[in-house]
Amino acid sequence: MNGAAFSSQFFNIDGDGMPLIRIRDVGATRIGTWYSGPWEERYRVRRGDLLVGMDGDFRVTTWKVEDGLLNQRVCRIDVDEEQYDRRFLVLVLQGYLDAIQKATSSTTVKHLSSRSVADIPLPHPDLTHQRRLADLMEDHLSRLDAGNDYLQAARQRLDNMRRAAVWDALTGSDAPGDRNVTLARADTEDGGLPALPHDWTWTRLGDVADVVGGVTKDAKKESAPDVVEVPYLRVANVQRGRLDLGHVTAIRVPRAKAESLRLLPGDVLLNEGGDRDKLGRGWVWEGQIEHCIHQNHVFRARVRDDQLDPYLLSWAGNYIGGAWCERNGRQSVNLASISLSKIRLMPVPVPPRHLQAVIRGRVEAVFESTARLEAALLTGERRAVGLRRALLNAAFSGRLTGRNTDSDVVEELVEVAS
């Protein structure tokens, strides 16, 4: 059963009404949206219900949180427990959904319909066999999950280590001598800014760079005279510390607008909206695509008079400005955002010019030294995904039986996943 298109006018983040299970909540441990309007009992989701997310990764999960409401793009599987063990159904459904996801061609978000879920040709062994297989797979997958948890914890430790090193470099924490925290007051929540060396300064982003918003997509203006088609960057292209240029779309805009928004090497891109932890993230444009501009949800900061190395500015946005943007941005039910006037007030540390190249080299060395560790963690995560898939294939092809010889099968699957 598919969810309902509940009216967003009744959405809230204050806990008023019933928790609303949206596509992003499938597999989550807590809810971020509530619904205070009218609803029908048939859309209630109870603990233990099976849910399928029908956008993106096509996840199937057993709902383990409080009762909530089934939103659109989420499908509930009503299980006949005389026919299927719920644990078995989750395992076998995820295998089919992975195959569908892999075979679905899309350049944006992939979609699934409740009809296509209903038409999945499920295997139907007897209940005793289903339960035995579920027990066996839970044992193997629990160990795989433990290994994956270790990988995630290692990734978090690596990120924390890198964040601390970048923070220390950008704020001159190891420099000797007196320190100061002088910064002109503004209508912002700046938090506890660290003291800088006496010859460094805290300043506002708008004092060192010209910051502008991008183009808003408007179909009417695309057919106006004197328009040109140019590539433009979206929020998805602007990641923390890198640009993802694998898929860059084009837009038709007036020639004057295309010229005024054209990106130049050294421009710093910062995201205006999205999830709260993505505000202010971004990277430096290096001229990878000619005549490229940016959309309205991406800010462009162009440093004036070479006051600050663009890479230092971008790292400041990623590692200092992110938390500041969270405090000073706006949060709605669907997304967070920060205004152009507010982002211009973001605090930025400015070292003396003669030190900026040294600091940049220091930060680059941190990323270079951690790149190999990050690559190893990524390889481990990919192997875990491959091994999970191989285990499921082996289980449903009858190669895993619960006997001692299963250890040989698992060793073989590890080799395959490698």
Query: What domains sit in the chain, N to C, each tagged with a CATH number?
Result: 176-350 (3.90.220.20)
User: What span, in angstroms and rounded, lies between the C-alpha atoms of 182 and 188?
Assistant: 15
pLDDT of residue 74: 92
pLDDT of residue 24: 84
Q: Which residues pair with 91 in a beta bridge?
A: none
Task: Give 114-145 pLDDT, tens digit per residue.
Answer: 777 777 777 788 888 888 888 888 888 788 88
Q: Which of 401, 413, 396 is nearest to 124 (CA)?
A: 396
pLDDT of residue 279: 86
Residue listed under structure tokens 């999970």: 388
User: What span, in angstroms and rounded, lies between the C-alpha atoms of 149 and 322?
Assistant: 26
230 with 260: CB under 8 angstroms? Answer: no
Q: Which residues pair with 60 in a beta bridge?
A: 52
268 with 205: CB under 8 angstroms? Answer: no
Count CA atoms closer than 13 A to 92's CA, side-chain side.
20
Through-space distance between the first and last CA atoms of the chain, rounded to whole angstroms: 38
HEC secondary structure over 122-134: CCCCCHHHHHHHH
350 with 307: CB under 8 angstroms? Answer: yes
350 with 208: CB under 8 angstroms? Answer: yes
DSSP state of 25: G
User: What span, in angstroms and rounded, lies between the C-alpha atoms of 338 and 274?
Assistant: 10
> 86-103 vs 353-396: helix axis angle to the nearest 10?
120
238 with 281: CB under 8 angstroms? Answer: yes
The alpha-helical segments, DSSP class H, found in 209-352 are 219-222, 255-260, 310-316, 322-328, 340-343
Q: Which residues pair with 249 in a beta bridge?
A: 232
Name residues of the chain where pLDDT drops below 50: 107-108, 404-405, 409-410, 412-418
127 with 85: CB under 8 angstroms? Answer: yes
User: What span, in angstroms and rounded, lies between the C-alpha atoms of 141 and 144?
Assistant: 5
User: What span, in angstroms and rounded, lies between the C-alpha atoms of 258 and 252?
Assistant: 9
Q: What is the amino acid identity at position 150?
A: Y
pLDDT of residue 6: 94
pLDDT of residue 145: 82
Number of H helices, E strands in the chain: 11, 24
348 with 200: CB under 8 angstroms? Answer: no
CB neighbourhood size of 290 (10 A): 9
pLDDT of residue 409: 45
Residue 161 tokens, joined? 């280590």
pTM, two decimals, is 0.73
351 with 174: CB under 8 angstroms? Answer: no
Going through 258-308 in order, the beta strands assigned E by DSSP cover 268-271, 273-274, 282-284, 293-294, 298-303
pLDDT of residue 136: 81
Angle at alpha carbon of residue 336, lines to 230 and 6, rounded to 5° = 100
Angle at alpha carbon of residue 22, lines to 105 and 69, rounded to 5° = 135
